Chains A and B, each alone.
Chain A
Amino acid sequence: MPGLQIQNISMRFDLPNGSHVQALQDVSLDLKQGELLSVLGPSGCGKTTLLNIVAGFLAPTEGSIILNDQPAIGPDAERGMVFQQGALFEWMGVRENVSFGPRMAGKRASEWAENVDHLLDVVGLQDFKEKMVYELSGGMQQRVALARCLANDPDVILMDEPLGALDALTREKMQGLVLKLWKETGKTIILITHSVEEALLLGERLLVMAPRPGRIHKEYRLPFADMGVGKDLREVKKEPDFGERREEILGMIWDMEEEIMGRTEESA
């Protein structure tokens, strides 16, 4: 069965002072090929940890990751990652960054050049192909990061707050771009965000996580991502359902944050 299975993942960090943090507790999840899952949750609930485990940067204390029926261990080109910022190679130009994956795989320029050019056109950087990345704005840099990930043609794309460092306007444009790329390429995507609106707009499925220990709190199936493809996202936000869901989830996360604050106050 093609897709990504996250099976009973638990993660415990042992701290140098002898205590430990249970960052994740028995997290299981089944993602079909081409699904877009957005993940929400209060700060410190283990979202990044989960993504790093899926990417293979961390080995879980328990559980396993299965991709296309194969156990996935360690980082691999099948699972591409888009970071919040600072993951581009500033000693390379835009084109070198985007072609990094194919070049490392030993492919000749003739094999990737066309695709890289096409991807740069798709993300709207046709006029910046020869620039160095430090000459680009933050939004443009994130588009390079997206194109770089896509040029490697991974099965799964993992995004950890990819739009978190952008201003509201750029962010909205980039949300449209992510939706468009998702529909066009049919990739499986996990997207972590702090913005409830973004999670609702982009996620076909939405996961709300709870902290201490990090676990799945609630899951939703949402119609908005399909509505939003090729449309003005602001129209989607006006849907009556959308506002309802937003308030519901915001309240949920708000309560969790309150609880954390209360608990730290008690322990203090």
Chain B
Amino acid sequence: MGQIISDLSGELAQLFVSILSALPAIIGYLALIFLFLFLWGIVKKRLTPTQDYTSLKTVTFGDESTVVSDKAASIISVVLIFVIWGAFTGTSWLPNFLHAPGPFIGQDTFTYTVETEDGTRDDATVTLVSHRAGELPETPEITPGDGIAKDDVIVVQAYRTKLLSWDANDDVTRSEGAKIVAIDGREITRETDVETGFARVALTDKGTLNIEPGKGWQMESIWLPAPDSVVSRLMSVSRDGYQNVTLAEHLSYSLFRVIVGFFLGALIGIPMGYAMGLSNWFRGWFDPIVEFMRPVPPLALIPLVIIWAGIGEQGKIILIFLAALWIMAIAARSGVSGVAITKVHAAYSLGASKMQIMRHVIVPNSLPEIFTGARVAMGVCWGTVVAAELVAAEKGIGKMIVAASKFQDTDIVLMGIILIGIIGFGIDVLMRMAEKWLVPWKGRV
């Protein structure tokens, strides 16, 4: 137990350090939010000098009805995400002046100073050529120069490092006791590296030089691809597919599982909820099952479902079915229980029979709750299907992003994540539209 506590406190300390190191970024972002608030305030004053009704209210702080989502803030916020994303990936969508400093690309030189055993020193020049991934520039011709140390050329890909065996062409070698003591005239030891302005030079244990061209502030595309490359990947994958499966196929499989699983869940869950809402026996029967299953996250069932049903379609549909089932049952139950007794009394005293009350009062009265449940269930189902596909699937949007992550196709991973978000959001918008249309009285009683 003590071991666990000390391990966990170590984790906590580490987490705290990471948060501290992210603090400047967080503060910078907050500053941007306020900066744009200020700028937009000025712009708005110019645009609309008239006052609307809300501006006549003197008490707005704490008045919930006066807080509405500011469209301008939403637009600026989303655009800013793309700008930050583009700036730190050097996208071609942004003008150069908005780019964060990129990695060093091109050619530059530094000198190293060799000291032999007897204390004589000599300088030589190293020409560094750094290039982007996928490009191979020509190695420039140089003359070795004079002295015991001869000039070198080294070609390094951006974001990579390379060892320079500087003594390969020199008159003295490391085995004879020669060693490098300075770079560009500044002292170098194993502990202190030298920053030349375009590269970082370090001395290895063996005495060679480890050369790392400057990385700048931009992210390597394997970490974070530029937005334009994500878009062009979207184009190419939706045209040609990824690993012989088209994007449409991936998406259709995922949506198919969600829709079929959700409908099965609703088909069983709603009658189950009604039974629980209307009969003591059924309430007693299903309560322990539902109350136990509800807090179990569907993801925790994935291993069991794989053991039972394999990784085929059935297993995933069972999983989605289970994800939707409890939510729909609980929604239907509370929809039925939530009917005001006066409505039932009114229907009885108007001469309605039990069946008529069921059909004309209890069912319509429960629809708003059921719709709320359906919206929640759809969200959970969509999340669950993606997660299930991450674990085991042959097709599906989740499968696509794990496969891409194995090949470090980060642009596909990112594209997949964005698609998952957009589709999840789209599903919710559709559900809300259906709700407006089918239960217009919701929340208005």
Q: A residues within 8 Å of B by Cβ?
A: 52, 55-57, 75-77, 79-81, 83, 86-91, 100-101, 104-105, 132, 134, 148-149, 152, 154, 158
Contact = CB atoms under 8 A, between A and B. Distances in A.
B445 A134 contact: yes
B440 A77 contact: no
Contacts of B441: 90-91, 132, 134
A67 to B, nearest CB: 13
Interface in B332-348: 340, 342-343, 345-348
B350 interface: yes
Nearest to A105: B351
Contact of B367 (A77, A91, A154): A91
Nearest to B349: A81
A81 B346 contact: yes
B435 to A, nearest CB: 13
Contacts of A158: 349
A135 B265 CA distance: 35
Contacts of B343: 86-87, 89
Interface string B134-151: 000000000000000000
15 contacts: A56-B349, A75-B345, A75-B349, A81-B345, A87-B346, A90-B444, A100-B360, A104-B347, A104-B352, A104-B356, A105-B351, A132-B441, A134-B445, A149-B350, A154-B349
A152 B340 contact: no
Contacts of A148: 346, 350
Most buried by A among B345, B350, B353, B440: B350
B126 to A, nearest CB: 80
B306 interface: no
B445 A90 contact: yes
Contacts of A87: 340, 342-343, 345-346
Nearest to B348: A75
Please tell me the size bucket of the interface on B. Answer: 20 to 34
A41 B365 CA distance: 34
Contacts of B348: 56-57, 75
Contacts of A132: 440-441
Given A86-B340, A100-B352, A104-B356, 12 more contacts: A55-B349, A56-B349, A77-B350, A81-B345, A81-B349, A86-B342, A89-B343, A91-B439, A101-B350, A104-B350, A104-B353, A154-B349
A83 B350 contact: no
Interface in B20-73: none
B330 interface: no
In the complex, the 9 A-B pairs of residues with the closest C-beta atoms, listed nearest first: A77-B351, A75-B348, A101-B350, A91-B364, A87-B346, A90-B441, A87-B342, A81-B349, A134-B444
Contact of B445 (A81, A86, A104): A86
Interface string B260-294: 00000000000000000000000000000000000
Contacts of B342: 83, 86-87
B361 interface: yes
A205 B428 CA distance: 58
Nearest to B367: A91
Interface of B: 340, 342-343, 345-353, 356, 360-361, 364-365, 367, 439-441, 444-445
A57 B352 contact: no
Contacts of A149: 350
Interface centre among B342, B439, B444 (most CB of A within 10 A): B342
A54 to B, nearest CB: 10
A81 B342 CA distance: 10
Contacts of A91: 364-365, 367, 439, 441
Nearest to B441: A90
Contacts of A81: 345-346, 349
Contacts of B350: 77, 80, 100-101, 104, 148-149, 152
A83 B346 contact: yes
A213 B102 CA distance: 88
Contacts of B361: 89
B361 to A, nearest CB: 7
A104 B350 CA distance: 8
A52 to B, nearest CB: 8
Nearest to B438: A91
A86 to B, nearest CB: 5
B340 A57 contact: no
Nearest to A154: B349
Q: Which of B342, B351, B439 has the most CB of A within 10 A?
A: B351
Given A89-B364, A90-B444, A91-B364, A152 B345 contact: no
A198 to B, nearest CB: 21
B349 A80 contact: yes
A210 to B, nearest CB: 26
Nearest to A75: B348
Contact of A55 (B345, B356, B360, B365): B345
A146 B367 CA distance: 26
Contacts of A88: 346
Contacts of A134: 441, 444-445
B445 A76 contact: no
A18 to B, nearest CB: 22
A134 B443 CA distance: 10
Contacts of B439: 91
A250 to B, nearest CB: 29
A169 to B, nearest CB: 24
Contacts of A55: 345, 349
Most A CB contacts (10 A, CB to CB) among B342, B346, B352, B444 go to B346
Nearest to B361: A89
A102 B370 CA distance: 29
Given A101-B351, A105-B351, A152-B351, A89 B345 contact: no
Contacts of A79: 349
Contacts of B352: 100, 104
A81 B351 CA distance: 11
B342 to A, nearest CB: 4
B438 to A, nearest CB: 10
B87 to A, nearest CB: 50
A132 B351 CA distance: 22
B339 to A, nearest CB: 11
Contacts of B445: 86, 90, 134
B345 A104 contact: no
Contacts of B365: 89, 91
A154 B365 CA distance: 25
A235 B202 CA distance: 105
